[in-house]
Amino acid sequence: MTPDQIALVQRSFSKVAPISEQAARLFYGRLFEIAPEVKPLFAKADIREQGKKLMGTLAVVVGGLTDLPAILPAASRLAKLHVGYGVAPAHYAPVGAALLWTLEQGLGQDWTPDLAEAWTTAYTTLSSYMIAEANSVAA
């Protein structure tokens, strides 16, 4: 990611953080709409608590984008933990789509092509790493 992309992601997330509960509801609603096969993975979860965890994790990741190597160990642990929950590499694409859609809804007119590209790059970078880490557990 370029420094400009990192700055875009961080500035935009600061606008989403105050509506984090609503954003989490939008995210899970969209995720279950576009990938209903993942809904059973959340059957035992309190979705409000899960939403808080999601937004907290996003805050850590977004804040750490300026020093990506510092957040990779936590991303590795998270990826490996998710394997135990039944998360498969194919689940990462709809999660990314739901995330981008949620950000677009939450940011409205502030959602620009440059911002979409920055978030896509951030998500692709992190999810690719997490998939590789998850695959290392499966192997």
What is the reported pLDDT for 139?
55
Note the pLDDT tens digit of each residue in 82-116: 998 899 999 999 999 999 999 999 999 999 999 99
CATH of the domain at 44: 1.10.490.10
- Is residue 103 within 8 A of residue 119, CB to CB? The reply is yes
- Is residue 8 within 8 A of residue 114, CB to CB? The reply is yes
How distant, in Å, are the alpha carbons of 5, 17, 44, 68, 116 from that of 1? Answer: 6, 22, 36, 10, 13
Note the pLDDT tens digit of each residue in 36-85: 999 999 988 899 999 999 999 999 999 999 999 999 999 999 999 999 88
Tell me whether residue 138 is exposed, middle or buried, using C-beta atoms within 10 angstroms of its C-beta: 0 to 12, 13 to 18, 19 or more. Answer: exposed
Q: How many domains does the chain fold into?
A: 1
Q: Give the pTM.
A: 0.93
Strand ranges inside 24-128, DSSP E = none
Amino acid at 55: M
Domain that holds residue 121: 3-138
